[in-house]
Amino acid sequence: MIKMIESKANTFYKELLKLKKGSADRGLFLAEGEDLLDEAIRAHAVKAIILPSQKYGYKNDLNIDTYFLKESLYRELASYKSLPPVISICQKNYDSEFGKRVIYLDGVQDPGNCGTIIRTALAFSYSAVVLSNDAVSLYNNKVIQSTKGALFHLPIGREDLESLKSKGYNIYLTTLAGEDERKIACLQEPFCLVFGNEGTGIRKEHLTMGKQLKINMSGIDSLNVAVSSGIFMYRFQKE
């Protein structure tokens, strides 16, 4: 199907604006740019593509519904001043099966950090990223963009850490008071490697749920959560 949309009153356009806000009805969301579209196509996650009206006549070989928006509408829908060449409507539902090597984000709020951690988890072959119920939404536009498409290729869920503990996961918590990670040969599977909120760290009630680990540092006492998670994930990546 090919359709032109020229009015803000269009019902479908109103739904697009809701998706821009991160409503993620039925797991649907907007992804901006050709790189994310390519990754979504690989994962069979594309439901439709949206193009500016100047590209009317564009043909795709993917049998994907295509919508053309007049420039003012397309500009309103895009998140950045530099307009993306394409916006895709994609679908990614929260998963419930996480595998044996889980990265857990306990209250992480910054969307850039969250997206970077998802991207890093895929790069180092972790089996899933699980968000606490108060962590940033997967459907936040900055999360989506900063994953660089990794969200399409990795299970991502929302669940309480207590629930994962009850399912038999070994819990490893990254804190400033933990044991030097260099003394640990490997993490016992199945495990959750937990990273905390940017300001307050891992919530206190979780600190007794497992073994605490830290990175040995000098000159400064803490690192950005995306940086520290990258170090830990590289350190304990699967051989």
Per-residue pLDDT tens for 3-27? 889 999 999 999 999 999 887 678 9
Q: With contact defined as beta carbons under 8 Å apart, do 203 and 160 qualify?
A: no
Do 108 and 200 reside in the same domain of the chain? yes
Q: 66, 91, 116 — which closes off a domain? A: 91
Q: What pLDDT is attached to residue 59?
A: 59
CATH classification of the domain holding 48? 3.30.1330.30
Do 227 and 112 reside in the same domain of the chain? yes
Do 47 and 114 reside in the same domain of the chain? no
- The boundaries of the domain holding residue 77 are 2-91
Do 77 and 166 reside in the same domain of the chain? no
* Helices 225-235 and 111-123: angle between axes, nearest 10 degrees: 10
Q: With contact defined as beta carbons under 8 Å apart, do 104 and 161 qualify?
A: yes
pLDDT band at 123 (very low <50, low <70, confident <90, very high): very high
In this structure, is residue 96 part of a structural domain? no
Do 83 and 105 reside in the same domain of the chain? no
Do 111 and 226 reside in the same domain of the chain? yes
Q: 33, 64, 91 — which closes off a domain? A: 91
pTM of the model: 0.93
If you average pLDDT over residues 106-132, what whole number do you get?
Answer: 98
At 59 the three-state DSSP class reads: coil
Distances (CA, A) of 215 to 13, 45, 60, 129, 232: 48, 37, 49, 21, 8
Cα–Cα dist 114/118, whole Å: 6
Of the given ranges (21-30, 86-95, 152-161, 215-224), which has the lowest mean pLDDT? 21-30
Do 62 and 177 reside in the same domain of the chain? no
Of the given ranges (78-82, 87-91, 183-187), which has the lowest mean pLDDT? 78-82
